[in-house]
A and B are shown apart, each in its own frame.
Chain A
């Protein structure tokens, strides 16, 4: 019994770390730009495909598989900067003045396009690339053998990203500028902050985080069409549970949802897929603004 509990905890931590990486990007973009990017899950999938392709290329060239780690970061940044940057600059900039329903739909259209593009580029056959997983070997936690990649490396990356984001937003000028635009865009513009540059930067960071999540997920799962569609719903559940725009809250919610899901796998397998939504609905019933969200005043 205790074995199963430990196993569930390890599963949950590994899964929650990945979900956090994606969800924190979504929540950051929403917090600053007030846009819910439905295409966010596509960046997760693009990151995974890009990482797997680069990794397989690495093996084909006979280079050291250790290079796959830096390559993951390169793949994620490339997807975030090129695809994410282009999307913000050429499309999203045009729709900030539209109503929210239309903004949501624009990102939905982008999701359809990117989803189709993936199928065209990588086909519908699943990809496997588990080399980096094997490199790190296994660790034994309380008598359970688990891959070090999933229970040590992924959580460490998640914590590093969380700390880095905190430092960036609280301690650097660029971060302070982002926070200023989030708090009051007009006032920030009035003191000479270029809000559209801030939006571009935020969006690129957000999409890079999503594709980093995808790249790091690549060795742990089979990469196939549809993975992005599932991920966006899940990361929204995390972001909403935490309160949209809450970065530290997203970590807590991701862990809670990761653990909830893995416990469901062992104790109530029918509920596995439902678990994230059940948690979200329960939280929102009690606290409509999410666990860490702030209620906004009504305006007449």
Chain B
């Protein structure tokens, strides 16, 4: 195992080195990769919630909160300062996450997913309706902020955004992995197995879920702020439910068993999206749908799961962490009773 983990560490170091060196070597500002780093953040948030078995179909709302926050604060400060803007975005999405979270953590499964959806639609239509504040469907322009007091040229700004996004993502991935390995993270996973038993242990399942929810909201908010900063505009589309679905899609694509799934998923997704837009033109949405179906049906553990299998085969089959859910219940087992909807707090 020692060689195994040191090999893995070496691979990680090489990947990090490539990511850091990319803009210097290629000479471009790597805006494709910047988007990947930024979009991996909300996906990581979704992965955190998926540990508890909960899917949010509304995390685009925090994405939009982040983007609009830097738009508004930037406008109020005539340009603004990137560091300050990001802090403001994180704080705003933390508040929004707390506000919505207190309400939605009382619900599970479909209700959880769809209540998130409803909240994001509320935000979406508000962003669209209150034209005098938000600019309506034309969106809110985000001026290029100064960075640590320095005004930047376009290329320089993009290069710095690349590194800022990369650094935030690296921190988030590390923090996410540590969180999932902490007692709180294990309690989160236990909610998925059996919530009632978690409560019998004296742990408040709602509180655990709320912590994860707020964390995921902050991640989505930071992602939105970064994408907004890159694209220079925030539109109501940022909060649209299809975008939330996209985040969940990317999480499943990457693999929900590991935080690295966020990065792998975001990279492959953006790659498919940009090449599908180039090669298949107006059927890219259909292409994505088919890819999603294929992943769910044939590789339910996502890219990271497939990589782990491959890795296990290469190194002698020891690294396989858990059996695939497909094999956990054999195909010829009697059909499982559809799980009854458990509405916590509903049994009063």
Contacts and interface: CB of A to CB of B under 8 A. Distances in A.
A244 B341 contact: yes
Contacts of B320: none
Nearest to A299: B196
B17 interface: no
A280 interface: yes
B342 A117 contact: no
B121 A233 contact: yes
Interface in B156-190: none
Contacts of A285: 103
B55 A116 contact: no
Contact of B344 (A115, A195, A270, A298): A298
State which size class the interface on B falls in.
35 or more
User: What 7 A-B pairs come out closest when comparing CB atoms?
Assistant: A112-B289, A273-B125, A34-B338, A113-B289, A116-B286, A295-B346, A109-B292
Interface string B34-66: 000000000000000010011101000000000
Interface stretch (A50-58, A89-97, A214-222): A89-97
A140 interface: no
Contact of A96 (B241, B252, B290, B336): B336
Interface of A: 30, 33-36, 38, 91, 94-102, 104-106, 108-113, 115-117, 119-120, 185-186, 195, 229, 233, 236-237, 240, 244, 270, 272-274, 277-278, 280-281, 284-285, 288-289, 295-300
Contact of B290 (A111, A113, A115): A113
A247 to B, nearest CB: 17
B239 to A, nearest CB: 12
B342 A298 contact: yes
Nearest to B128: A273
A289 B348 CA distance: 11
A288 B343 contact: yes
B252 A102 contact: yes
Nearest to A185: B337
Given A109-B289, A116-B285, A300-B196, A100 B248 contact: no
* Most chain B C-beta atoms within 10 Å of own C-beta, residue among A96, A101, A115, A120: A101
Contact of A288 (B107, B118, B119, B339): B107
B173 to A, nearest CB: 22
A274 B130 CA distance: 12
A115 B285 contact: yes
- Which DSSP category, helix, strand, loop or mixed, fits chain B's interface? helix
B335 A120 contact: no
B343 A295 contact: yes
Given A91-B293, A116-B286, A280-B118, A104 B341 contact: no
Contacts of A33: 338
B342 A105 contact: no
A274 B122 contact: yes
Contacts of A35: 338
B313 interface: no
6 contacts: A112-B245, A116-B282, A117-B286, A185-B335, A233-B121, A288-B343
B300 interface: yes
Contacts of B117: 233, 236
Contacts of B335: 96-97, 185, 195
Interface string B280-324: 001111101110110011001000000000000000000000000
Interface stretch (B69-77, B78-86, B108-116, B220-228): B108-116
B347 A233 contact: no
B346 A289 contact: yes
Contacts of B129: 270, 272-273
Given A236-B114, A288-B343, A300-B196, A112 B292 contact: yes
A144 to B, nearest CB: 27
A300 B194 contact: yes
A95 B294 CA distance: 12
A100 B339 contact: yes
B126 interface: yes
B325 A98 contact: yes
Contact of B252 (A105, A111, A280): A105
B345 A288 contact: yes
Given A108-B248, A229-B241, A296-B342, 5 more contacts: A34-B341, A95-B296, A95-B297, A112-B286, A270-B130
Nearest to B256: A101
B297 A94 contact: yes
Contacts of A274: 122, 125-126
A110 B297 contact: no
Contacts of A289: 343, 346
Given A288-B343, A297-B347, A186 B337 contact: yes
Contact of B293 (A38, A109, A185, A273): A109
A47 B196 CA distance: 43
Nearest to B130: A270
Given A240-B114, A285-B103, A112 B296 contact: no
A297 B344 CA distance: 9
A185 B53 CA distance: 24
A296 B341 CA distance: 7
A296 B196 contact: no
A104 B342 contact: no
Contacts of A116: 282-286, 289
Contacts of A101: 50, 53-55, 113, 248
Contacts of A281: 103, 115, 118-119
Contacts of A236: 114, 117-118
B269 interface: no
Given A289-B343, A295-B348, A102 B285 contact: no
